[in-house]
Structure 1
């Protein structure tokens, strides 16, 4: 590899993310937007934070390209230390909700955290690509009113510490995935998942036996 190519690769991997982090601080730094040390951004996240809302980013957080963060009303997004958020992820907190991503968690590419109500992702949890955590959904009880005009129903979503959601999982409002649980690809979680359980399917149901610590 030539000297120029080596320098270019080093810049892409280290220099540019650090520069983008500095630009992020300059553009978005405010009383209600705080970022810790060691932030890295492959590209500038798109941020929209209302005056009464709050965005808190811990130390050593990494944003890949195309991340979108939206905090409305009096909501809060808290991203703890060592979190990595992959390309194209969208995180929304609205109303009075709290969306918290625990230390060391990983959010896979193009996943969506839709926080009309609270969302908790536990420490070191793995959320794979194209996962949808949905804490609100349209009401649909009235047959004579368009669904788009019936408002929303809300329920908190909790993903336990060390849990793994495989690709394309959907977690519905009001559901909890217990610590250490595994949810198989393309599953739709409509009921709570016990800690260390392994579930799959639509709707998600237990398969095999729960995992146990060695």
Structure 2
């Protein structure tokens, strides 16, 4: 009997945790939709001038981190699932947007010094890195003192990024594109592109 009770508890624990998190922490700058679930409370760092919005039927696994600094906005759409250890950072004036039905694999990082959009029903595998900023390196001063150059990342609908993919600033991927595992994408590709390599190159078109 105890076994079945524990099994039932662990099955509904994400629903309970999500309800409690919403009850305790939801406010004008942190909006949480219906049926939010989380294995553990996400870590949230939110400036007074920034905002985070989580849609309906969103699921977070363990140790998800959300950070919104400056006047940035993080918007996670309906029916998204975020695996454990994912870190989502918005800074400056960036808008970080997950459209409906995005699935994101474990320990993926979104470094949003500029805006990032991930289109509907896209699949982002584990250990992916989306990087919208690069250190400046000209001149004699140290790297840490030279600041950054920023550019947005725009990923279309029905995208699939394989494990360990890196996406560079200023990159656009058209709808239905696929990026092979361990690829580094430093240029934009049209819809239906299948790309792979370091740097990524067009392999063929998705039918």
TM-score by length of 2: 0.97
Q: State the match for 2:135 in structure 1.
A: 138
Q: Measure the CA separation in 1 of the matches of 2:166 and 2:144.
A: 21
Q: Distance in 2 between matches of 1:31 and 1:87?
A: 26
Question: Equivalents in 2 of 1:132, 1:10: separation in Å?
Answer: 36
Task: Give the 5 Å matches for 1:156-195.
Answer: 156-195=152-191
List structure 1 runs of 4+ shifted beyond 4 angstroms.
none
Report the equivalent of 1:59: 56
Q: Provide the aligned length of Structure 1 versus Structure 2.
A: 207
Show the counterpart of 1:150: 146
For residues 168-191 of structure 1, give each alpha carbon's deviation from its aligned partner in whole angstroms, at most 9, with x where no partner exists: 000000101111000000000000
Report SS of the residue matched to 1:88: coil
Gaps of 5+ in 2: none
Shift of 1:4: 1.9
Q: Secondary structure at the match of 1:44?
A: coil
Matched residue SS, 1:167: coil
In the other structure, the counterpart of 1:113 is 110
Is 1:13 aligned to 2:8, yes or no? no
RMSD of equivalent CA atoms: 0.9
CA distance in 2 between counterparts of 1:18 and 1:108 reads 20
Out of 193, 196, 210, the residue aligned to residue 192 of structure 2 is 196
Tell me by how many angstroms 1:22 deviates. Answer: 2.1
Structure 2 CA distance for aligned equivalents of residues 28 and 112 of structure 1? 23
- Which structure 1 segments of 5+ residues have no match? none
**In the alignment, what sits opposite 1:27?**
24
Q: Name 1:211's counterpart in structure 2.
A: 206
Is the 8 Å Cα contact of residues 129 and 164 (structure 2) preserved in structure 1? yes
Residues 28-71 of structure 1 show CA distances to partners (whole Å, capped at 9, x for unaligned) of 22111110001000000000111111110100000000000000
State TM-score, norm by structure 1: 0.94
CA distance in 2, matches of 1:192, 1:65: 33
